[in-house]
Chain A
Amino acid sequence: MDLKTHYLGFDLAHPFIPGASPLCDDLDTVKRLEDAGAPALILRSLFEEQIVREQVSTFLHTETHGESFAEAMTYFPAPQSFVLGPDEYLDHLRQVKRSVSVPVIASLNGVNPGAWIDHGKLLEQAGADAIELNVYRLATDLDTDGAAVEEATLKMIRDLRAAVKLPLAVKLSPFYSAPAHFGAQCARAGASALVLFNRFYQPDVDPVALEVKRELHLSTSEELPLRLRWLAILSGRVFADLAVSGGVHTAVDGVKSIMCGASAVQVVSALLKHGPDYLRELTVSFERWLEEHEWNSVAEMRGNLGLERCPDPAVYERANYMLMLQSWKA
């Protein structure tokens, strides 16, 4: 059985990749994932906003107390090796690179141009094999229109494309007015792959305490259909690889994703739930399924249920159900 797939310029032994998550924070887990057959690894996002915030708040909350009182010029040691910035991430990236032989994809999450681009360069220097960009931001400003939001993101992709030589994947959110058009634009701007879709912390309301909390729940297979739709719509129509992220828990979820056009299947929640070794179970089940259903390779099934090849494209294209009677074309 030929499970091989080609994603972001890499020939991978199979499509199931541990997605960006805390899974790769720990070197032991990284090794276990490789042992479980991970064909590539994606590190947790280097979160640009968090870096800036930490720099500023550490600066304000440590510096402002010094040089104020005669008995204490400072309140903290000033270790030479203590540097606030992406160094922690870069060091980790180097360590992961040293410990595994599969491609390591670094992930970047940023909203502002500038430091973001610099961080991309640093990731390249630190040995990343590819970069996955997670560019979504919530457009809460009443005066910023969709076109401006999209253009800002495309600029970032173009800038980063110009700054680094590495393959770039762009992880999109489903909340664009015209996701298909925007996906195509991303590919034109330099994205080698599109990842559908990112998941966010969601607000939850505590009606008693009158508070809004942020929570991130593990995904379920129920989230997959949204992704299948847009994989299918983009499959074969954009000049970029496609990957699915969010909702893949079983081998069959992976099969569906590939049939809708995915070259790579990112798995996070299932691994967090069942442990890194579950990756091996997934691939074994996946292979078995292919055998049972008499497929010869992943390549031949990829995109067979995409918009252009599926028996009934209207299922993807229409938002509402129509009676067969109403589907009559005049």
Chain B
Amino acid sequence: MPARRMITVDGNEGVAAVAHRLSEVIAIYPITPSSSMGELSDAWSAYGKTNIWGRVPEVVEMQSEGGAAGAVHGALQAGALSTTFTASQGLLLMIPNMYKIAGELTPFVMHVAARTLATHALSIFGDHSDVMACRQTGFAMLCSGSVQEAQDMAAIAHCATLNARLPFLHFFDGFRTSHEVAKIEELSNEDLLAMVDEARILEHRARSLSPDRPEIRGTAQNPDVFFQAREAANLFHDACPGHVKDAMERFAKLTGRSYKLFDYAGHPEAERVIVLMGSGAEAVHELVDWMVARGEKVGVLKVRLFRPFATADFLHALPRTVKSLAILDRTKEPGATGEPLYQDIITALREAEENGDSPFAARPKVVGGRYGLSSKEFGPPAIKAVFDNLKADKPKNHFTVGIVDDVTHLSLAMDNDFDIEPDDVVRAVFYGLGADGTVGANKNSIKIIGEETPNFAQGYFVYDSKKSGASTISHLRFGPRPIRSTYLVRQAGFVACHQPEFVEKFDVLETAKPGATFLLNTPWDADKVWDTLPRELQEGLVERRMKLYVIDAVKVAGDAGLGGRINTVMQVCFFALSGVLPREQAIEEIKHAIEKTYSKRGAEIVKRNFAAVDAALAHMHEVKVGDRGLTNRRRPSIVSENAPEFVKRVEAVMLAGKGDLLPVSAFPIDGTWPVGTTQWEKRNIALEIPVWDPKICIQCNYCAFVCPHAAIRTKAYPNAAAASLADDFLRVPFKSNDIPDHAYTVQVAPEDCTGCGLCVAACPAKDKTNPRHKAIDMTPQRPIRELEAKRFETFLGLPEIDRTAIKRMDVKGSQLLQPLFEFSGACTGCGETPYVKLLSQLFGDRTVVANATGCSSIYGGNLPTTPWAANKDGRGTAWANSLFEDNAEFGLGLRLALDSRKRTAEQLLKRLSPEIGEELAKALLDADMSGEAGIAEQRLRVKALRDKLKGLKTPDARALESVVDDLVKKSVWIVGGDGWAYDIGFGGLDHVLASGRNVNILVLDTEVYSNTGGQASKATPMGASAKFAEAGKDLGKKDLGLLAMTYGNAYVARVAMGGKMQQTVQAFLEAEAFDGPSLIIAYSHCIAHGYDMVHGLDQQKLACETGVWPLFRFDPRRVAAGLPPLLVDSPPRKGKVADYMRNESRFRMVERMDPERFKRFAKASEKAAAQRFSVYEQLAGLKVALPPAEPEAAPVAAGKKE
């Protein structure tokens, strides 16, 4: 058997490498956690990497997974070997085509990184709920449980599908397998060539649609024949398991790795056996080996081929000694008699008994259980609990494991201290920041160890739910045997904390085993650091007799010119302390890895990293644990004592990283979550925060306007309220003719600010004698944290402005309103959130938001905490995320229901008006709510009505009470990104615009799929490099605004806060006031554009000036006034588009790759900008002719026809 290359890859890469080499056409669409399979395939094809037949596969990005499925269906029908990659909701969108592809007996493999389906909440993590929704499509379903298996099974699926003529859904666990980095044996092109049968490919091609031998497919059949014809394919389904077995045997001969439809491992006379699929089976296998070695008769049966279910193979794979079986499903099927695998096995066993085929000595007891939903940990404690359950006389059936269910009491009790990991496996845990490069360095370490030593290696990474200041936890294992531990490291010999502040937030020693080494990056010297540590950490170090090493990695990296990128420094320390490799060799390998990783980033980057590596060890020092006594300072509590009960009881536990411990009873039953809880999570991630100098401030409120996190605020409050304030609370008289006798304050929320600096960039007020000093300057946070926190608390206690007092709702006025969207987890410097925050300020107390899945749904609704908030009256934005593709429709539904409720209220009000009082009823019904004053008055009337209703005892009164608040104007905002609006949700958005209903659509246009990592959308501009458009997008951006204008009945605006803040405010106000559909397309700078976000506003300004992003408002109401509906708000173009483009990496990358191509793009973009601007200007001159007023028709006698 030829020696193959050992490679270190994650599951997605292992699978994609096979799929790409065995395909001709690949249609893709990004969705977590499968996106990287499509990205890699696209990149490989872009570089000209060929499949095993020497041809470059065609990779096409579609507008949705439904589109991708349609495209592969077409490609298959035309005879191409095709594949696609997806997960979760994406897979659901493919289901209609899956029935077709299977019904037409088409060889095809789709690879699925199995992920949770959204139910009460969305989850990006792994379980089998998506694939289980496909089990009746007719697809064969093949499952793998490790990175090695995922690669291998991909090849087996591509082989078997050709022979079986059935499509295959190959799946593996999202994140646990798709993102686990492991050392595996790579399949060569020769292997793949040997796996596929050329004759079957020719047959597939021969069946293709061709006008040279025409056939008809997709006929419509009727009751007379459909049924029979549907049964005609039975033989293929029957034969499929045999073809899979053949493929597995062929594979075993080639590689020596043997797989069966059902793989058994364990005691040959096992009495207790767990049956399951996916990565969990590896963990069970590991524990079974451990238990068998200790004399226990246990086993595990790994299901590889789930569909078609091969009953005979299943029965014969189990030892006949089995007395009890636990069937574990990684999905939940509410209301069923059991989960899918359990049901199949119950059926298989029963049928075997009926047929007299049962191989078992005695009828085994069978129980089913659920585990691992949404990547819930499934390690030795959970698995042992299942085996223990099987020992019972009456084992618990339909159990859950891995959680504490104190409501329905289905969960099995676990011994959380149970551990079986052997000492010869090195285990290390690293706490880092996303931005410090910890994960990247660990991936490099795994590669180094995996590829330079005989050791096997495994890496798994746990990420934060926030996008700014995100923490990461890396779990690494290295050992002499293949690693089956598909769960987090539980007992680490090495723990590193790359960020000093984490010791204040997390129990970083949670996984440290006795005698372990702890490495801490800290600015403190070795002789002083001990006293700075919280007592809990000191106790952990002492009690576990640990070794402590410290290094000021920030200084080392800073001296080398790497800013906060401390990864290589810490990596050197890890190798030096862990001894996995000889020190010199390790340093050499690290440098080699740096060269490989960064040489494309430039010689300077390599040089600086080398300098950091060389300097690292001289700065690392050991601190003798126990030399100094314990100090008394304890880790601060996660949230304030003043936080609401739910925040303290539930969210604080989640924030501490202990959410796994929360029982079922802790949670709302339907996913509903309280608003406004980010305020309790004091993240303290900013190194610098803005500080206000009232002497210079001109009270423009620009700082608050552009703040992405509502962390700098302004308030005008009565002088009377100011009188009692402490002297050190900064304020000045408020400059306003409309609102006299008020004081004014600009205040930062120091612990919530992310330190982006946009406020300072926007501040126009300079100290004339020292223009470097502005009305706000960035200042180191730590020394002023407490003072500013105290001031912020005072600030929050000041009264909010009376909304009706603001006569001019401009930039300044809008920022006096309380933001009801605050401290989200959005990226530092995010370009989207200022718009979202503005929405919340202007209308947030009477708004319902439908939010498309994407960045805005993640920073808007990713737990633990929620940024949408309520005001002191308890009013705020009600927010919901349905799906990615349906958001416009979802929002329309909200509108329809709100309108219906309002009609109900009006009907009841009319009916009850005699009891309520005609005057009040009439006032309520005829209320003018076009302004804040009208709304405030209506709220007072509603209050009066509510009071009156209390005295009425009729059913109508109760019914009116239930809808009484609907008499106050409600605003519906449909919010989402460009991936939704331009691509996957465009059909719905178009339909909603055409509906004429009063909804407001806010498109946060970052010009890429930001949330999934920067894939091109139809909003991506020409010349920008994005994933799936690496060489720069050829086509220009879709003009969504112009398309929407063609309806004529919709309000449309294009805004950019950095271009013209006032125009942005005006557009929001007009859109909301417009009684019909309105669309606002908002330029949102994004980290996926590749520059420092502090310059985001400057780039927006340039985009507007050069005509890349012309500002306009199209208001159908202007027609009635005899005015052109379109108003162009941008001044005449100036500056060059190329200058705008060169400031951003997304364009600049193209110039570096191919300067001539860039020039063509720049020229074409310049021309396009000029043309677009000219079209708008011409449209802005067009008045829409109104039909002449019809003369009043003369009465026509009945029956008489003119």
Contact = CB atoms under 8 A, between A and B. Distances in A.
A115 B604 contact: yes
A33 B434 CA distance: 51
B124 A71 contact: yes
A82 B439 contact: no
Contacts of A92: 1155
A138 interface: no
B65 to A, nearest CB: 16
Interface string A67-80: 11111111111111
B1091 A56 contact: no
A125 interface: no
B1145 A68 contact: no
Nearest to B174: A70
Contacts of B463: 68-70
Interface stretch (A57-65, A255-263, A282-290): A57-65
Interface string B1009-1022: 01111100000000
Contact of A75 (B124, B563, B768, B1087): B1087
A115 B464 CA distance: 39
A56 to B, nearest CB: 6
A76 B1146 contact: yes
B1013 A59 contact: no
Given A51-B602, A64-B435, A75 B1088 contact: yes
A296 interface: no
B771 interface: yes
Contacts of A91: 1155
A75 B1014 CA distance: 5
Question: From DSSP, what is the main secondary structure of chain B's interface residues?
Answer: mixed
Contacts of B179: 70
Contacts of A61: 1087, 1090-1092, 1145
Contacts of B443: 67
B766 interface: yes
Interface stretch (B1026-1034, B1069-1077, B1182-1190): B1026-1034
Interface string A120-131: 000000000000
B571 interface: no
B1013 A71 contact: yes
A51 to B, nearest CB: 7
Interface string A203-220: 000000011000000000
B25 interface: no
Contact of B598 (A51, A59, A66, A67): A59
B827 interface: yes
Interface string B21-44: 000000000001101100100010
Given A64-B435, A69-B434, A69-B467, A79 B563 contact: no
Most B-side CB within 10 Å, residue of A57, A74, A77:
A77
Contacts of B1087: 61, 65, 75
Contacts of B1011: 71-72
Most B-side CB within 10 Å, residue of A26, A85, A118:
A85
A130 to B, nearest CB: 23
A287 B768 CA distance: 56
B643 interface: no
B440 interface: yes
Contacts of B598: 59
Nearest to B1091: A61
A84 interface: yes
A77 B1030 contact: yes
B601 interface: yes
Interface residues of A, number: 43
A124 to B, nearest CB: 17
Contacts of A65: 434-435, 827, 1087
B796 interface: no
B1078 interface: no
Contacts of A69: 434, 463-464, 467, 470
A85 B1091 contact: no
Contact of A72 (B1013, B1145, B1159): B1013
Interface string A190-230: 00000000000000000000110000000000000000000
B561 A56 contact: yes
A73 B1012 CA distance: 8
A11 interface: no
Q: How large is the interface on B (under 10, 10 to 19, 20 to 34, 35 or more residues)?
A: 35 or more
Contacts of B1031: 79
Most A-side CB within 10 Å, residue of B124, B1149, B1159:
B1149
Contacts of A75: 1010, 1013-1014, 1087-1088, 1090
A76 B602 contact: no
B1025 interface: yes
Nearest to B461: A67
B227 interface: no
Contact of B766 (A58, A67, A210): A210
A35 interface: no
A40 B43 CA distance: 41
A69 B472 CA distance: 8
Contact of B47 (A58, A80, A210): A80
A52 interface: yes
A63 B598 CA distance: 10
B1161 interface: no
A55 interface: yes
A60 B440 CA distance: 14
A268 to B, nearest CB: 20
B43 to A, nearest CB: 6
B437 interface: yes
Nearest to A26: B1159
A60 B43 contact: no
Nearest to B764: A209
Nearest to A114: B607
B1152 A83 contact: yes
A86 B1083 CA distance: 33
Contact of B435 (A51, A68, A72): A68
A88 B463 CA distance: 37
Contacts of B36: 73
A68 B1027 contact: no
B1132 to A, nearest CB: 21
A64 B567 CA distance: 11
B240 to A, nearest CB: 35
A73 B1013 contact: yes
Contacts of B1148: 54, 58
Contacts of B1090: 58, 61-62, 75-76
Contacts of B599: 83
Contacts of B1014: 72, 74-77
Contact of B472 (A55, A67, A74): A67
Contact of A70 (B43, B124, B1088, B1153): B124
Nearest to B1090: A62
A68 B434 contact: yes
Given A51-B602, A69-B470, A115-B603, A82 B1153 contact: yes
A44 to B, nearest CB: 12
B789 interface: no
A68 B470 contact: yes
B552 interface: no
B1151 A88 contact: yes
- Please list the 10 inter-chain residue pairs (A to B) with the smallest Cβ-Cβ separation, ordered nearest first: A68-B434, A55-B602, A72-B1013, A67-B439, A210-B771, A70-B463, A84-B602, A77-B1030, A75-B1014, A68-B470
Interface of B: 32-33, 35-36, 39, 43, 46-47, 124-125, 175, 179, 433-435, 437-440, 443, 461, 463-464, 467, 470, 472, 561, 563-565, 598-605, 607-608, 766, 768, 771, 827, 858, 1010-1014, 1025-1027, 1030-1031, 1087-1088, 1090-1092, 1145-1146, 1148-1149, 1151-1155, 1159
28 contacts: A52-B602, A58-B601, A59-B598, A60-B563, A60-B1092, A63-B601, A65-B434, A65-B1087, A67-B440, A68-B435, A68-B467, A68-B472, A71-B32, A72-B35, A75-B1013, A76-B1014, A76-B1026, A77-B43, A77-B1025, A77-B1027, A77-B1149, A78-B43, A79-B43, A83-B599, A83-B600, A83-B602, A84-B601, A210-B766
